[in-house]
Amino acid sequence: MYAEVDTPALLLDKPKLERNIARMAEFVAGGPAKLRPHAKTHKCVEIAKLQLGAGAVGITCAKVGEAEALAEGGIPDIVIANEIVGPLKIARLVALAQRCRVTIAVDDAGNVRQLSEAAVAAGVTLGCYVEVNVGMDRCGVEPGEAAVRLARLVDEVPGLSFDGLQAYEGHLQNVVPFAEREARAKLDMRKALFASQQIEAGGLMVGQISGCGTGTHTITGRLPWMTELQCGSYATMDAQYAAVGGANYENALTVLATVISRPAPDKAIVDAGLKAVTPEFGAPTVLVRGAKWLDFSEEHGEITLAGPAQELRVGDKIALVPRHGCTTVNLYDRYQVIEDGALVAEWKVAARGRCQ
Ligand SMILES: Cc1ncc(COP(=O)(O)O)c(C=O)c1O
């Protein structure tokens, strides 16, 4: 399998990727909101361009560094769905805003004032979403008076434009059963609606309400007040989303590994360990019938073998589906892009390691 690809390698199945992108585009076309896919999953200019080509209005990023990498690749409109804090990052942010349209999340008045000063000095306008805590208890102000006050401040200070709300229900993406995810998502996202109504009652217009992920898109992506969907993982998928019901989307992402030892009939060791596939959320799925991932060490993976899997030999290549795609992709410089079993391209993981 893939004689020309050395291992460990990050494989991306292009037809599956394209089908996933088309499926999400079709879903979004059937509702009121627009798609602004999160690139923290793929970190790749080529994939972002395919998403824009399928109708996405822009791209979402988590970090200034990711946004810089995508802007360098020609992505013109980026939301950084995160608070950008400190003079070093703010300086990079306003420089970025001279090259492309940038919107960020805010949840602190002092930070808003610093952003405003830097934007004025650089002669740019930064779009701002006031982040509302919809139950994830990460960043964000509470809906109600705190959100109204912050939105008003953003609107008043020069250099910033109040463009709406960041409201991501990340705490619900993996909730099973689905009926519970659905009930909680509908309830929690009412906080975003409430915040928006309060802000609009004060005379400001809330342009966007932006949030939503792969796990909730069929729920919150159809709420009439959501305007922008930030789903990311759907494009490549991973074993975690497959486990909690991502049946609409195909797994396009695998790590290719080589069997380097067969110490016992029921055991194989591969050359992919913690530096090749992250343990976040659990073990990767081994795409060999009868094979199951047992343990990681730094450079090795231990796999138990039953039935037909015991035919594996030293030198065989096998595919693993990472449990979490986002953190696994971050371990690689490039995707080996495959189609019908052949290597057709290499795409750079341009935002790899751009966590600043
Ligand atoms: C702010 C934000 N929006 C959207 C997403 C959705 O990502 P996914 O579709 O991969 O769950 C994430 C994921 O962490 C996120 O942090």
Question: 213 C-alpha to center of ligand 1: Å?
Answer: 5
Six token digits for residue 4: 């020309």
What number does the ligand 1 atom closest to the CA of 41 have? 10
CB-facing half-sphere around the CA of 69: CA atoms within 13 A: 24
Residues 347 and 329 sit within 8 Å (Cβ to Cβ): no
Task: Give, using CA atoms, the residue closest to atom 6 of ligand 1.
Answer: 213
Six token digits for residue 144: 């109600």
**Predicted local distance difference test score (pLDDT) of residue 97:** 98
- Name the residue type at position 97: A
With bands split at pLDDT 50, 70 and 90, how would you rate the model's confidence at 308? very high
pTM over 0.85: yes
pLDDT tens by residue, 144-178: 999 999 999 999 999 999 999 999 999 999 999 99
**Predicted local distance difference test score (pLDDT) of residue 245:** 84
pLDDT tens by residue, 50-83: 999 999 999 999 999 999 999 999 999 999 999 9
Which residues line ligand 1 at a C-beta cut-off of 6 Å?
Answer: 38, 41, 81, 168, 170, 173, 213-215, 230-233
pLDDT tens by residue, 81-113: 999 999 999 999 999 999 999 999 999 999 999
- Report cis status (omega within 30 of 0) of the bond before 8: yes
Residues 135 and 188 sit within 8 Å (Cβ to Cβ): yes
Mean pLDDT (whole number) for 286-292: 98
Task: Give, using CA atoms, the residue closest to atom 3 of ligand 1.
Answer: 230
Phi/psi for 317 (5° steps) reads -105, 140
